[in-house]
């Protein structure tokens, strides 16, 4: 399943899709990028559903703290079941990548939500987000 360091078909537009498939999912366009990897849309060809896949390139993990954080995410998130926490369907370890298959929950991240509210969330909105995180 793993290809080289480039992806000539699916996701090539973002200039660096390292994989074409993860499990039953075919990767699509890049949704975003964080400190640990890139996140792509993915079509689950078994269920027909849309998921997201976070791809972490192992060589980009430079410190023991990052290894610890990725380990926590890979071992704890799949066990959590709560309406306020994204469902992790599978964590795959490949020779060059760690991939997290997750449910698709929306099209906006917190930064985009803040920008839509003029750069700041109201105290009430911030309180509601905090309560959701705390209850998780």
Higher pLDDT, 25 or 36: 25
Q: Give me the pLDDT at residue 5, please.
A: 32
CA atoms of 29 and 38, how far apart (whole Å): 10
Q: Give me the pLDDT at residue 136, please.
A: 60
Residue 56, beta-bridge partner list = 98
Residue 113 token pair: 């939500």
CA atoms of 41 and 100, how far apart (whole Å): 12
Q: What predicted TM-score, i.e. pTM, was given to this entire model?
A: 0.68
Higher pLDDT, 128 or 133: 128
pLDDT band at 83 (very low <50, low <70, confident <90, very high): confident
CA atoms of 7 and 10, how far apart (whole Å): 7
* Strand ranges of the sheet holding 88-93, from the earlier edge strand across to the other edge: 21-22, 25-33, 38-44, 50-57, 97-103, 88-93
């Amino acid at each position: 399943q793993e290809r080289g360091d480039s992806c000539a078909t699916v996701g090539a537009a973002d200039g660096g899709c390292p994989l074409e498939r993860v499990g039953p999912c075919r990767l699509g366009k890049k949704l975003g990028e964080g400190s640990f990897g890139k996140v792509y849309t993915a079509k689950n060809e078994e269920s027909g559903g849309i998921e997201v896949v976070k791809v972490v390139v192992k060589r980009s993990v430079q410190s023991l703290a990052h290894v610890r954080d990725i380990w926590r995410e890979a071992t704890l998130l799949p066990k959590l079941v709560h309406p306020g926490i994204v469902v992790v369907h599978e964590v795959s370890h490949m020779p060059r990548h760690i991939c997290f298959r997750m449910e698709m929950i929306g099209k906006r991240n917190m930064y985009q939500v803040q920008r839509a509210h003029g750069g700041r969330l109201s105290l009430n909105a911030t309180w509601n987000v905090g309560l959701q995180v705390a209850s998780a």
